[in-house]
Amino acid sequence: MIASLRTGRAKFARTRHLGRWGNRFGPEPGMGFHVVLAGSCWLITESDPPVQLSAGDVVLLPRGAVHGLAGSPDRGINALPPDSEGPDGGDGDEDAGCATLLCGAYRLDHTQVHPFLRSLPEVIHLPAQLGHHPALRSAVDLLAADLSDPQPGADAARPALLDLLLVYVLRAWLREEAARQPGAGWQAALDDPAVAAALQQMHAAPQQPWTVQELGALTGLSRTTFARRFTAVMGLPPLAYLTWWRLNCAARLLIRDDAALATVARRVGYASEFAFANAFKRQFGVSPGRFRRTRLQEPVQHDYDLAGVPAG
């Protein structure tokens, strides 16, 4: 789901801060993230009290919300300078505000926001608790080691490690959310054999003329039982979710492929170009042809250059 929304690699920078420092980040056109590699700092948001972060902590901003990082919690978000201006301060007790951070963002196409992303909170904070989320801790350690001692192949390793970090952060959050709300949400969907099997089929073959009865039969459930179970877990009826997925697949094809509109329609399960165009306009507000022309006229989003990450 995340891969379907990505428009390039993650961008990031490794920085070291001393003394009285602080920066404001966002809004980002995607997911923002921070990893505390060493030392400690404070996470400052617009609505919640400051949260102290320690070495090994990971913070993910799924929708790129405005937030700040600082060496002390005594300033509000609006008192911090934007990240583009560089860290402020430098006076005061250097040891008190020492922190080494990995900060960056995953660029996403927000015209195609998956329901999973909408279900995430504005801020996900995963503390480095002993024994909690060992796979995530390992990914953080690997990334920190690669940044502190660059080796041949770093340009290939770092993007892969960042992708792995994102996967493990979301896995960890799903587990914690499942503990807080048993039987609901996306972890419940992935844990439910019937719902997970239906999602897999719809994602793999959106062009198939799926019916609720067929999807239920694949999972060994009656039409009514399957529809009720899918809707309870996902928050959308099966065919409403299928329509959403088909049209988002179509949007990606329109941008990345020069196939005729009728061909795109067939690839995502519409026998009629007219029916496809009407459904597409209802979801995106413009016709498929206009959507393609507009998106192709936008500046090309190249992958971020991940070489030469500064050490300070």
pTM over 0.85: no
| pLDDT value at 237 more than 70 | yes
Per-residue model confidence (pLDDT) at position 300? 44
Is residue 283 a contact partner of residue 272, using CB atoms and an 8 Å limit? no
**What pLDDT digit, counting tens, does each position of 130-146 carry?**
678 888 888 888 888 88
Domain 2-180 superfamily per CATH: Regulatory protein AraC (2.60.120.280)
Domain 192-297 superfamily per CATH: Homeodomain-like (1.10.10.60)
Pairing of strands 99-107, 30-45: antiparallel
| pLDDT value at 92 more than 60 | no
Identify the three-state secondary structure at position 260: coil
Per-residue model confidence (pLDDT) at position 1? 62
Residues in the chain: 312
Per-residue model confidence (pLDDT) at position 167? 86
Domain ranges across the chain: 2-180, 192-297
**What pLDDT digit, counting tens, does each position of 2-35 carry?**
666 665 667 788 888 988 899 999 887 778 889 9
